Amino acid sequence: MKAIGYQNNLPIENVQALQDIELQQPIAQGHDILVEVKAISVNPADYKVRLGMPIPDGEWKVIGWDAAGVVKSVGDDVTLFQPGDQVFYAGDITRSGSNAEMQLVDERIVGKMPQSLSYGEAAALPLTSLTAWEMLFDRLDVSKQDKEKSILVIGAAGGVGSIMVQLLKKLTNLTIIASASRPETTAWLKELGVDHVINHRNKLSDEFTEQNLSLVDYVVGLNNTESHLVEIEKVVKPQGKFGLIDDPEALDIVPFKTKAVSVHWELMFTRSLFQTPDMQSQHDILNEISTLIDNGLVKTTVGENLGQINAQNLRKAHQFLETGKAKGKIVLEGF
């Protein structure tokens, strides 16, 4: 089968950073389903792993954690799917990824693909939807009924933020404050329904003062957390909650003590990585997202389709993501 892989952690400008290769097709066993990959999307996790995860000498590493496709075969223990089902999923960071024609994935982290979307549109959703949902409703325990509370989402125009603000708009009554820094990303967030947009190039507290915004109950940091930490403490309410998903080199949360602010990490891969008892909740979440999509309540967050799934186009996608200027998701479709 066709795949895109690498053998060394190289900068994306090097043509060997991602290469077109041929691999043997895997066989589904146990809870695994074998999926014929029709489309993928690319996430910051892709280039972070490409640059940092060690690879045994002589072996090929295939990455990719967002895909939509068709179930070709199932393992003996599979109960949720059958051959022919259209599915979408974000995969498992410990296993071979979606940058291949065929991929094995545990059924418990797979959802039924929205019927109203193309494969490319569906592939843009799983990782960001799971991350956004788990952050809001599992980590921060955001109430879907509370009408008095508010949230700040920092760096909201990217993949996770684009889904998060939609979930907040459709499933909660929170006042939504989101940050962006460019006219096009500001317009994008307003289109998605946020109540206020602030510029994270400026001090968050100054932006709050300028727009006469009150302190917020929740803050979500999606990128550059280190540079915003001092300002986050200023704009969060006493006994508020702060959640983050990025990878700061250091995280000094001592200033949060006075306000008794709790800190929450979200990593979408945790459930599959540790085979947690609630691992199948990701199947349930993806099915919820699929229903929201098909009911017209949430829309896909495709920013750009770069065409066919191959090494050249994947290198372009990684290169663009590494600039940190992506709006929505980058997808590729078909081998």
As a whole number of angstroms, the distance between CA 102 and CA 52 comes to 25
Please report the pLDDT score of residue 327 as a whole number.
Answer: 66
Check residues 250 and 40 and name the one with the higher pLDDT.
40
Q: Pick from 244, 265, 286: which residue ends a domain?
A: 265
**Does residue 105 lie in a domain region?**
yes
The domain spanning residue 43 has which CATH number?
Answer: 3.90.180.10
Please report the pLDDT score of residue 163 as a whole number.
Answer: 94
**Does residue 119 lie in a domain region?**
yes
One domain, residues 196 and 210: yes
Q: Which long-range contacts (CB under 8 A, 24 or more apart) does 144-147 make?
A: 144/171, 144/172, 144/173, 145/173, 146/172, 146/173, 146/174, 147/173
Mean pLDDT of the chain: 94
As a whole number of angstroms, the distance between CA 233 and CA 204 comes to 10
Report the share of the chain in percent with pLDDT over 70. 99
Please report the pLDDT score of residue 302 as a whole number.
Answer: 85
Please report the pLDDT score of residue 326 as a whole number.
Answer: 64
One domain, residues 253 and 302: no
**Does residue 271 lie in a domain region?**
no
**Does residue 60 lie in a domain region?**
yes
One domain, residues 49 and 115: yes
Range of the structural domain that residue 311 is part of: 2-125+276-333
Rounded average pLDDT over 87-95:
96
Rounded average pLDDT over 7-18:
94
Query: Total structural domains in the chain?
Result: 2
Q: What is the identity of the amino acid at 145?
A: Q
One domain, residues 114 and 223: no
**Does residue 270 lie in a domain region?**
no
DSSP type of residue 113 = P
Q: Pick the range with the lowest mean pLDDT from 16-20, 41-45, 162-166, 209-213.
A: 41-45
Please report the pLDDT score of residue 145 as a whole number.
Answer: 82
Residue 235 has pLDDT above 80, yes or no: yes
Residue 192 has pLDDT above 70, yes or no: yes
One domain, residues 119 and 135: no
Bridge-based pairing of strands 150-154 and 216-221 is parallel
Q: Pick the range with the lowest mean pLDDT from 93-97, 209-213, 328-332.
A: 328-332
One domain, residues 206 and 309: no
One domain, residues 116 and 137: no
Strand pairing partners for 320? none
User: What tens digit of pLDDT does each residue of 270-329 get?
Assistant: 999 999 999 999 999 999 999 999 999 998 888 789 999 999 999 999 998 888 766 668
Residue 112 pLDDT class (50, 70, 90 cuts): very high
**Does residue 81 lie in a domain region?**
yes
**Does residue 61 lie in a domain region?**
yes
As a whole number of angstroms, the distance between CA 17 and CA 4 comes to 10
Strand pairing partners for 230? none
One domain, residues 199 and 249: yes
Rounded average pLDDT over 227-256:
95
One domain, residues 244 and 310: no
195: left (phi over 0), alpha (psi -120 to 50) or beta: alpha
In sequence order, which residues have a C-beta less than 8 Å from that of residue 63 and are 6 or more positions away? 5, 46, 49, 50, 97, 99
Please report the pLDDT score of residue 44 as a whole number.
Answer: 86
SS3 43: coil
One domain, residues 259 and 296: no
Please report the pLDDT score of residue 147 as a whole number.
Answer: 81
Q: Pick from 214, 241, 265: which residue ends a domain?
A: 265
Helix (H) / strand (E) element for 126: namely: helix 126-133
The domain spanning residue 164 has which CATH number?
Answer: 3.40.50.720
Residue 268 has pLDDT above 80, yes or no: yes
**Does residue 324 lie in a domain region?**
yes
Q: Pick from 238, 265, 292: which residue ends a domain?
A: 265
One domain, residues 211 and 307: no
One domain, residues 317 and 254: no
Rounded average pLDDT over 199-210:
96
